[in-house]
């Protein structure tokens, strides 16, 4: 029997196996207990958002280059952040740092409509293209400075920042609705703290700290 290595069918079934392995790891270790986050992970084909030269590593649990010296984040980090964000269907969601568009696709699985802001034009275009190819029509990719948020669609129930800054930009706090939740890595690139900000009143935030991570900087 002839075996054709690298045929699309074989590659797809490898991806499914690798995906299932990550899913089992998160579920069995109870690292990710949110069923909606786990389901979103199964729904989104990460291989469509990874640079073709790294496609075989689509389900390896580490970041991968996407151009402009940026990376698609490590899957475990993405799932932990999504779990902290506690997104419900119908929430108005803003992401800062579209990158490949992968996280925006996950957010769209969870919420529906998502706005994502990306500073690099090349990456904003990449995110748009990837999202379109994967069939995510409810994601609005905006080319701009995420520190300004995106006032046109504010306020947001949920905001997720996917690059590290020394403090959470004021505009993002302003654009969060009362009762809303923001997740952001805050501090230096290596060793930033994952923070949750719960907006309890127009000028009042409850802050939670959820461990140390590494992120590219918000510039
Ligand atoms: N969420 C992405 C990966 C994030 S990497 C994904 O799923 O693939 C961080 C991203 O933030 C990079 O694409 C980087 O270009 C972008 N970024 C950095 N500073 C920014 C800013 N001020 N405004 C918007 N995007 C920014």
Helix, strand or coil for residue 93?
strand
**92: pLDDT strictly greater than 90:** yes
Give the CA distances from residue 66 to residues 101, 166, 203, in Å, rounded to whole numbers and listed in that order: 11, 24, 37
What is the arithmetic mean of pLDDT over 70-83? 97
Would you call 73 a catalytic residue per the annotation?
Answer: yes
pLDDT at 10: 76
**2: pLDDT strictly greater than 50:** no
pLDDT at 6: 57
Measure the CA–CA gap between 85 and 118, rounded to whole angstroms.
20
User: How far does the centroid of ligand 1 lie from the alpha carbon of residue 216, in Å?
Assistant: 8
User: What confidence tens digit (pLDDT) does each residue in 39-60 have?
Assistant: 999 999 999 999 999 999 999 9
User: What confidence tens digit (pLDDT) does each residue in 93-125 have?
Assistant: 999 999 999 999 999 999 999 999 999 999 999
**Partners of residue 197 on adjacent β-strands:** 182, 207
What is the arithmetic mean of pLDDT over 182-198? 95
pLDDT at 1: 43
DSSP string, 52-100: GGGGGGTTSSS-EEEETTEEEPPHHHHHHHHHHHT--TT--EEEE--TT
pLDDT band, very low/low/confident/very high, at 142 (cuts 50, 70, 90): very high
Q: Determine which residue's CA is closest to atom 2 belonging to ligand 1.
A: 99
All domains in the chain, ordered by first residue: 63-214 (3.40.50.150)
What is the arithmetic mean of pLDDT over 13-35? 96
pLDDT at 147: 98
**In residues, how long is the chain?**
219
**3: pLDDT strictly greater than 70:** no
C-beta separation of 41 from 83 below 8 A = no
C-beta separation of 107 from 87 below 8 A = yes
* C-beta of 163 in contact with ligand 1 (< 6 A): yes
Among the listed residues 7, 34, 58, 73, the single catalytic one is 73
Q: Determine which residue's CA is closest to atom 23 belonging to ligand 1.
A: 146
**88: pLDDT strictly greater than 80:** yes
């Amino acid at each position: 029997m002839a075996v054709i290595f690298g045929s699309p069918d074989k590659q797809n079934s490898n991806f499914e196996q690798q995906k299932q392995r990550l899913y089992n790891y998160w579920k069995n270790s109870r690292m990710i207990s949110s069923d909606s986050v786990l389901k979103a992970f199964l729904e989104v084909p990460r291989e469509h958002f990874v640079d073709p030269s790294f496609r075989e590593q689509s389900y390896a649990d580490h970041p991968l280059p996407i151009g402009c010296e940026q990376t698609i984040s490590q899957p475990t980090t993405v799932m932990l952040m999504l779990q902290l964000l506690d997104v419900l269907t119908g929430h108005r969601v803003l992401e800062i740092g579209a990158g490949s568009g992968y996280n925006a696709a996950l957010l769209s699985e969870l919420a529906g409509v998502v706005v994502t802001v990306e500073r690099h034009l090349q990456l904003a275009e990449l995110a748009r293209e990837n999202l379109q190819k994967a069939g995510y029509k409810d994601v609005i990719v905006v080319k701009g400075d995420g520190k300004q948020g995106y006032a046109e669609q504010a306020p947001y129930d949920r905001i997720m920042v996917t690059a590290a800054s020394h403090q959470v930009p004021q505009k993002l706090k302003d654009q969060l609705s009362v009762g809303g939740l923001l997740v952001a890595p805050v501090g230096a690139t290596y060793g930033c703290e994952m923070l949750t900000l719960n907006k309890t009143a127009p000028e009042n935030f409850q802050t939670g700290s959820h461990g140390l991570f590494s992120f590219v900087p918000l510039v």
